[in-house]
Chain A
Amino acid sequence: MKEPITEPKKKPGDIDILLYKEGNESNAVGIECKIVKSESLENQPPKINKITSVQKKGTKQADGYINIGFSRVFLMVILLDDGRHYKNPNFVFRTTPTEELKELYDFDWNTKMNTEVGIIYAYVNQLTSNHINQTKGLGLRIEREAKERIQCDGLTEKIKNLNY
């Protein structure tokens, strides 16, 4: 979603997820999403990309959500984890080991991102060779709650005027 919630040529370029209860538009939640990809390889460490980009772009864009005036703002990091080549015989555990994702989890969100922004980690795990729509692992963790603020009146009006 872009206009009327966002303004042209201003951060964030768009709103990834907007959540609100009908009749309670003054408590809307804006969620900026960033994707990290991890791919298991035969007899090699997993190939993980976009972590630095997530940290740099995600923090800046989340600031943009704060400026728009949402009641609560989250940065949701979505990990697409292809675990098909991990050797664990129990497919449920074919996920990227935590130590391989230290760069992501050890990021100093507290000093490098607005402390009002909450952090959500979402996981999509491909555990077998089936298509992701067929067999998958899903995980969700709210790492840090967003600080609730009084929402900007202008934003509330814009949300009320959306046709959903």
Chain B
Amino acid sequence: MKILARLKKTIRTFIQKEPPPEYEVTQFVISDRQPITGASKISFFVNNPQPGASVTRTFENEDDVINWLMSNADFKHIFSKIYFHHPLSSIIVA
């Protein structure tokens, strides 16, 4: 059984487009995908002197927010884990 489970895990990992997150997902997740290349002069911890758009205006309407959330791998992960207790891959979102 252990071999079968390991095989399943290997296949699932291989199929996944993105590598699995390296943090443990709890009820609150902080995600940062900023590559640390040293090319940027803007510190991760200091406000950008030229602030970007507010998240309150990033999306034009309600549907945009919903679509963004449901296509967000982190959110889907939390949502499925808390609510369905199993991967969202087996659930159809329409």
Which residues from chain A sit less than 8 Å from chain B, CB to CB? 1, 15-22, 33-35, 37-39, 78, 80-82, 84, 91-92, 122, 124-142, 162, 164
Contacts and interface: CB of A to CB of B under 8 A. Distances in A.
B44 A21 contact: no
Interface stretch (B2-10, B11-19, B74-82): B74-82
Contacts of A133: 33
Contact of A38 (B34, B56, B90): B56
Given A78-B69, A124-B69, A19 B93 contact: yes
Contacts of A16: 62-63, 66
Given A134-B34, A142-B82, A129 B52 contact: yes
A18 B51 contact: no
Contact of A134 (B32, B69, B92): B32
A21 B88 CA distance: 9
| Residue of B47, B55, B74 most packed against chain A (CB within 10 A) | B55
B56 A21 contact: no
A133 B53 CA distance: 12
A1 to B, nearest CB: 6
Interface in B14-34: 27-34
Contacts of B65: 33, 35, 78, 80, 124
B48 interface: yes
A49 B57 CA distance: 13
A92 B93 CA distance: 30
Contacts of B51: 84, 129
Interface residues of B, number: 40
Given A84-B47, A91-B45, A140-B75, 14 more contacts: A15-B94, A16-B63, A84-B51, A127-B30, A128-B47, A129-B47, A133-B33, A134-B33, A134-B34, A135-B32, A135-B33, A135-B34, A140-B79, A164-B94
A138 to B, nearest CB: 5
Contact of A21 (B42, B47, B59, B90): B90
B48 A19 contact: no
Nearest to B72: A138
Contacts of A122: 69, 75
